[in-house]
Every structure is written in C-alpha cells, then in structure tokens.
Amino acid sequence: MTVAGVASGIVAVLALTAGPANAVAAWGSTTQGEGDGFFENWPNRENYPDQAGAIDRKKDGMSVAIRWTSSSGTTGECVDKNGANNGTTLCTVTGLNQRGTVTFKVCARDYSNDIGWINCSRPDSHPLTP
C-alpha cells in the first residue's frame, strides 16, 4: 500500500469508530501497487449510503477495481478507469441484504491486453449483520 493508501485507511478507521457497531469500512490493495479500493456498508443508517471506491495509483495503462459478492448473491464492481492519480471513483452499492457477509477484492486490469482481473488482493470478508 502506498503512503497515501495508508493515510486513506486511517480515515476509514476513524469513520468506522464513528459509525454503528457493525458497519463495514475496509480497504484493500492490489498486490503490485496498482491501486486501492474500499467498501463501506452502514446498516440501518439512511444518511450513510453503502458505497465502494476505487483508486488507480499507477500510470501503467491498467485500471483498478474493487469487486464484491455477498453471501446472498449480490455482486458488483467499481472501476477507476479514467486515468491514474486523479482521485477516487465512487460507486453506490445497492441490493445488499443486511445479513450474511460481503467479500471483496481489489484488482488491476489491462483492457488493452485483456487477461482479466489480475494482482488481486486476498478476498476480505465482513459480516453485514445490523
């Protein structure tokens, strides 16, 4: 993780301590420094939309995505493909049940030589129990 990624992770931890007990606020990073992603889920808090973010941190022609799947079958992804080092691509997460678990990975992808999602973080699972 880059220094900026660590700093962003600290912000996420602070947000978690301010949120409800079972909120999900977690970060992941690709294995080769291509970028980071985060996932936020706030049970029973309409003022805090469930969201995910992807941050491309390397000018290598590759995009960075966070991809998730829930134990109830919801899947989604949020991709930063508008260039590196230009901020966070934010996506609203919809359709999650407030039960079971959500698992996410952060991956890179080279669409000009597409071999699929690569250099993914280890799958990270969190409970969605309200």
Least distance to Ca ion from the beta carbon of 83, Å? 8
Q: Does 58 bind Ca ion (CB under 5 A)?
A: yes
Contact 6, 36 (CB under 8 A): no
Contacts with 8 (C-beta within 8 Å, 6 or more apart), sequence order: 27, 36, 38, 55
**In this complex, which beta carbon is closest to Ca ion, that of residue 60 or of residue 77?**
60
Least distance to Ca ion from the beta carbon of 28, Å? 16
Q: Judged by CB under 5 A, which of 1, 2, 19, 60 binds Ca ion?
A: 60
Per-residue CA distances from 121 to 16, 27, 48, 124 (Å): 21, 10, 26, 8
Residues 66-105 that bind Ca ion (CB under 5 A): 84
Report the interface residues with Ca ion, using CB under 5 A: 56, 58, 60, 62, 84
